[in-house]
Amino acid sequence: MMRSRCSTLKRLPGALSCLLLLLAPSSKADIFAFVDAQGIVHYSNVPSDKRYVLFVAEPRPERVAEPASVLPAPQVHRGGRAADYAGLIDRAARRNALDPALLSAVIAIESAFDPRAVSRAGARGLMQLLPGTVRRYGISDAFDPEQNISGGARHLSGLLRRYENNLELALAAYNAGEAAVERHGRRVPPYPETRAYVPAVLRRYRELRLTQVPRA
């Protein structure tokens, strides 16, 4: 088992270099992280400090999607599989002019396809919808996969329109909120969580597109 730690300043290149070292193909372990008072991000698969929280979980059997890799991690109640929601994802994607692989990537990183996931911030379900988003789209049950995916797809589609199809900004707004993106000059906010979230979704999206079966 790999046993290593690394710390890096908030700057994205350093943070990602550190994280990629821990996520090397030969490494199979849960990765934990925390941000200290000086704004330094610490990653480790052998957490020795009580401030560490789960950042990336080692894939478990029967889980085809990557577990959530953002802070704060959702509280997982029961597992799910991408194939279980393929039909709902395809329909929601078509209705909102989205690539189904993009929706799948967001769900993989947000909840690891756990329909009962709840974050510390109160985000719920497969696409981790916050209470305000649930109200905005008239969702009566955020844990219902169809309603959750439909609402999340509408929200992501609206963000893409707002940011003129800039996927990085749309994903940053999905994670940190539109206000944060606007407050930082329509750029990805300098939050460790968001700076990790955006490339994680984009990486998963690229992987899914490579495995997509062309439609007739």
Looking at the domain 63-211, which fold is it?
Answer: Lysozyme (1.10.530)
Question: Is the pLDDT reported for residue 12 higher than 50?
Answer: no
- Tell me which residues are annotated as active site: 110
Mean pLDDT, range 140-163, rounded to an integer: 98
| CA distance between the termini of the chain | 45
Q: Which residues pair with 34 in a beta bridge?
A: 42
Confidence of residue 54 (pLDDT cuts 50, 70, 90): low
What span, in angstroms and rounded, lies between the C-alpha atoms of 211 and 207?
Answer: 7
pLDDT of residue 39: 66
Residues of CATH 1.10.530.10 domain(s) within the chain?
63-211
The burial class, CB within 10 Å (0-12 / 13-18 / 19+), for 5 is middle
Q: What is the pLDDT of residues 68-106, one digit of tens each?
A: 334 444 443 444 688 899 999 999 999 999 999 999 999
- This prediction's pTM: 0.64
Q: How far, in Å, are 65, 201, 212 from residue 208 at the CA level?
A: 10, 10, 6
